[in-house]
Amino acid sequence: MTETGKFDLNSMDITEDQLKKLKQVLPEVFTEGLKIDFDKLKQTLGDAIDSDDERFGMQWPGKAECFKIIQQPSIGTLKPYEAESVNWYDTENLFIEGDNLEVLKLLQKSYYGKIKMIYIDPPYNTGKEFIYPDKYSENLNTYLEYSGQIDGEGRKFSTNTETEGRFHSKWMNMIYPRLFLARNLLKDDGVIFISIDDNEVDNLKKICNDIFGEENFVAYFIWKRRSSSSFADNNVSTDHEYVICYQKGIFSGFSGNAKDFKNYKNPDSDSRGAWVLGDLTVGMTASMRPNQAYELIDPKTGNSYPYNPNRVWAYIPESMKKLLDENRIVFPTDVSKRPMMKRFQNELKSTHNPFSTLMIKQVGLNTEATRTIQQLLGGNVFDYSKPVSLLKTIIPQICSNEDIILDFFAGSAVTAHAVLALNKADDNNRKFIMVQLPEPCAEQSEAFNAGYKNIADIGKERIRRVIKKIESEQESKEADLFDSDKPKQDLGFKVFKLDKSNFKIWDGKIDDDTSISEQLELAIDHIDPDSKPEDILFEILLKAGFELTTKITELELADKTVYSIAAGALLICLEYNLTKEVITAMAKLEPARVVCLDQGFSNNDQLKTNAVQIMKSHNVEDFRTV
């Protein structure tokens, strides 16, 4: 290290990441760097290359553009809003306000492979919902104009109506890049759940097959959203919706439902423990299994029990004798009744039954969701929320202590509500990340009249009120206050909002509106004067690959403020007048990485050169400026 490196202000390069993965598997097909020799690739894969023009797969207008969008890095940032948060310094939960496509890009470095479960309730494409920007390739600027953060012609997030043409294609162009980026965030044993109805369920499954792999489809789950309606096409009432589930690749399975052992008894004091009676027959006829059609004799009484010609014994005579010798057969006094077999609790392969795809009993109707909103927020301020019972049913099947649940179509934040309620019930510490577009509430709506400007505000307020409710319930239980063994629940969340970068980034493009001198000025004075130190700190944190909830300690070194990230893994100094003393003090702590402002070395090239050598002398190999 002879000079300072430049800190990368872009989100993760998806193309580069994919190429690095491929190079680990097929290094022989690469030439220099990450360039692929396609002739070698074809030779290596042989018959596995599909060169037929008519190949199986899903295509639609705009799919190629989806990959361009995926590959385009974000240069935005997520700015902290402590005033809108709850328990800012202690919580590990997040609420991010912004367009989820940009947010997903920004989360790639920090949360890559860390999310255990994703649940989303995206637009169903009914022709009424907000879908995406008119020009989704200009996403950050579109979002900033849409949310009023910059002036412009006012690009709008629009509805997708059937009269516009390419109705399904537009929806697919919206959902595809988001699911692609979401997959990167899942742990290898993670899963994604997506709520959907009949409008796009077929296309959604094909898209998921394309992104996750057909072999990683888990199941369609079905829940009843309403009682039968009198308003129905063809006199058919569609009362259900789907939750489609895919795994990342090495999912170990659902937890299942705990078996009920109340009927297991041990009336004969069997040394093998409690047991229940089980069927000793099998659904086969005597003609199908003649060697299992025989009279069964009770060795103690000599009573004979005939076989049922339509349902013979489950075991051949030799196997049945072994069961008799092991005292596993219970004979009734009445020979007209059938003998039964002891099934011991301690011999069960599992203590749980499989989880059913029909979630009828566990999940309430949409009316449950409506009542919950009314009780928490005092009115009908949000339509079409999912019932909390839906999330409380599926989350424990996948997630336990410390697992992170992501919902990037958060709506009224029902997922966060469910996580908090579940943690209260089972003392786990699951964490949530909510992402929601600040979609404006219609001026004539009850939400607007109640003071909510947008849907993100509704979600944040719902979480606040759930937290207050749990705190109130905890205070009412005096015994819990003195239970030192009970872990303290995380009752908080940090709020971040999508915004433009705190740094003016020189993209090298000169147009009619930008002169060369203006671009050069960006390279000299490139920090947004409106940016606060905490804004800059969290942008560096995020783009250095640290989670937004990483512990930050403020140090005083040589009369300068230095931020220690993750117990010294990264040191960040945002001071404008750096000194040799503070550089040395940071180096002596031997962090893995150090980041300072370029302007901290303003007009002091000698100090910058010495800083590199000081860092190197203390084994700090990654020293960068921004």
Which carries the bigger pLDDT value, residue 138 or residue 443?
443
Q: Is residue 262 part of a domain?
A: no
Rounded CA separation 317/165 (Å): 70
Which residues does 257 contact at the CB level (< 8 Å), separation at least 6?
352, 353, 354, 355, 356
Which carries the bigger pLDDT value, residue 45 or residue 210? 210
Residues 92 and 188 both lie in one domain:
yes
Tokens of 307: 């076989």
For residues 576 and 560, what is the distance between their CA atoms, to the nearest angstrom?
A: 10
Q: Which residue has the higher pLDDT, 251 or 47?
A: 251
pLDDT score for 46: 75
pLDDT at 62: 85
pLDDT for position 164:
59
Predicted TM-score (pTM) of this structure: 0.86
Task: Identify whether 543 is part of a domain.
Answer: yes
pLDDT of residue 291: 96
Q: How confident is the model at residue 351 (pLDDT cuts 50, 70, 90)?
A: confident
The letter for the amino acid at 106 is: L
Higher-confidence residue of 13 and 539: namely: 539
Lowest mean pLDDT among 57-71, 162-176, 367-381, 542-556: 162-176
- The reply to whether 234 and 378 lie within a common domain is yes
**493 and 510 co-located in one domain:** no
Mean pLDDT is lowest, of 13-17, 358-362, 477-481, 532-536, for 477-481
Residues 238 and 361 in one domain: yes
pLDDT at 490 exceeding the cut of 70: yes
Same domain, yes or no: 86 and 169: yes
SS3 annotation, 582-614: HHHHHHHCCCCEEEECHHHHCCCHHHHHHHHHH
For the chain, give the longest Cα–Cα distance.
Answer: 107
Q: Which residue has the higher pLDDT, 425 or 132?
A: 425
Q: Does residue 56 form part of some domain?
A: no
Both 204 and 324 in one domain: the answer is no
Higher pLDDT, 526 or 418: 418
343 pLDDT higher than 70: yes
Residue 622 phi/psi, 5-degree rounding, is: -110, 90
∠ Cα 69 75 77 (to 5°): 115
192 bridge partner residues: 118, 246
Lowest-pLDDT choice from 39-53, 89-103, 148-162, 429-443: 148-162
Contact 461, 377 (CB under 8 A): yes
In a domain, 58, yes or no: no
519: left (phi over 0), alpha (psi -120 to 50) or beta: alpha
Domain co-membership, 81 together with 208 = yes
Structure tokens at 578: 């750096």
> Is 19 within the bounds of a domain?
no
Euclidean distance between CA atoms 552 and 490, whole angstroms: 18
Of the pLDDT bands very low, low, confident and very high (cuts 50, 70, 90), residue 165 is: low
Domain extent, residue 307, equals 272-344
Report which of residues 7 and 466 the model is more confident about.
Answer: 466
For helices 388-398 and 414-426, give the axis angle rounded to 10 degrees: 60
Q: Residue 533: its pLDDT value, please?
A: 95
* Confidence at residue 120, expressed as pLDDT on a 0 to 100 scale: 98
H-helix or E-strand spanning residue 222: strand 217-224
- In this structure, the number of other CB atoms found within 10 A of the CB of residue 54 comes to 4
User: Where residue 410 sits, what CATH number does that domain have?
Assistant: 3.40.50.150
Q: How many domains does the chain have?
A: 3
Task: Return the number of other C-beta atoms located less than 10 Å from residue 593's C-beta.
Answer: 19
Query: SS3 of 282, please?
Result: coil
Residue 134 has a pLDDT of 46
Burial environment of residue 443 by CB neighbours within 10 A (0 to 12, 13 to 18, 19 or more): exposed
Residue 209 lies in a domain: yes
Do residues 248 and 375 share a domain? yes
Pair 473, 549 in one domain = no
Could you tell me if residue 387 is inside a domain? yes
Kindly indicate the confidence band of residue 158, based on its pLDDT and cuts at 50, 70 and 90: low
Q: At which residue do the structure tokens 């690739």 appear?
A: 41
pLDDT of residue 187: 97
- Do 519 and 483 reside in the same domain of the chain? no
One domain for residues 159 and 298: no
* H-type alpha helices, 525-562: 533-543
Residues 248 and 153 in one domain: yes
Q: Which is higher by pLDDT, 162 or 597?
A: 597
8 A C-beta contact, residue 395 and residue 57: no
Q: Is 58 strand, coil or helix?
A: coil
**Which stretches of 272-381 are assigned E, i.e. beta strand?**
275-278, 296-297, 304-305, 329-330, 340-344, 352-353
- ∠ CA 317-322-325, rounded to 5°: 120
pLDDT, residue 593, reads 96
The pair phi, psi for residue 144, each rounded to 5°, is -65, -40
- Residue 625: which H helix or E strand, with range? strand 622-625
In a domain, residue 18? The reply is: no
